[in-house]
Amino acid sequence: MSAENLIDAIRLPFRKDRELCRAFRDMLGFYPHKISLYQEALMHKSMLAHAKSGSPLNNERLEFLGDAVLDAVVGEIVFHHFPKKREGFLTNTRSKIVQRESLGRLATEIGLDKLIRQNEHNKTHNSYLAGNAFEALIGAIYLDRGYGHCKTFIRKKIMHRLIDIDKLAYQEVNFKSKLLEWCQKHKVSLEYILLDETKTEDGSPLFNTKVVINGHECARGKGYSKKESHQKASRNALHRLKHDRKLHDELIKSKHVAD
């Protein structure tokens, strides 16, 4: 046990929130300092809680921050793990690790899902609930203990124990199928439009495709075949749907139903 953790352990019996602190110690490998940040990370918006200032109190802001920090940490880990791989490979590998389904599974495996607070009368079955809380947790760690602790937690508690990075990196992911599933779930139309076909310097064909969801252009992708351009455009669209909450909500609220 580090000297810092030893001091925190000595102080633990005198804390009112010692049970929650102990739970996070077992989960993270260190004690929280500002427990209020971690409580906020567990707070789903359905609780309709408010801070003393009157502003809404939920985990959405920490989720936003944690998403950025997680991308940076995982990106750094992937960068060093595959020193000879190009940008496209690294981006795909990071995307597989930080996608919502993966984060939800990780949240469940470390027991975070059991700590999430939501309104029992309006209990949601949102499949992204645990993954969102995981990102919020990373945001809380960052604000409480800094980037170094985020990196240590993700590397030691997540990557080394719960993720086979080599297996995952070479696992084929059909982004087009995932995007189609999302569109079918939310009853919105999906269309792939070929923008142009050009030639590279060596004469190879290069296809440029855009993804249109309910009449909204969401992303573009280039590839050496139409299939590859569809996959890249789909990957970029999924990335945007994850990060652009406004677009995400607008598409879901749309009344247009896919054919």
The catalytic site residues sit at: 67, 135
State in Å, rounded, how far the first CA of the chain is from the last one: 60
The DSSP symbol for 34 reads S
Cβ–Cβ contacts within 10 Å for residue 204, how many?
10
Classify residue 154 as exposed, middle or buried by CB count within 10 Å of its CB (0-12, 13-18, 19+): buried
Residue 158: count other Cβ atoms within 10 Å of its Cβ.
21
Tell me the CA distances in angstroms from 163 to 44, 158, 168, one per residue in order. Answer: 27, 7, 8
Q: Where are the beta strands (DSSP E) in the chain?
A: 190-199, 205-213, 216-223
What span, in angstroms and rounded, lies between the C-alpha atoms of 195 and 226?
11
Which residues lie closer than 8 Å to 41 by C-beta, 6 or more apart? 59, 62, 66, 133, 136, 137, 139, 140
Tell me which residue of 164, 166, 182 sits closest to 174, measured CA to CA: 182
In angstroms, the Cα distances linking 219 to 76, 193, 238 are 25, 11, 9
Which one, of 155, 214, 223, 164, lies nearest residue 189 by Cα?
214
Q: Which two tokens stand for residue 104?
A: 């939800």
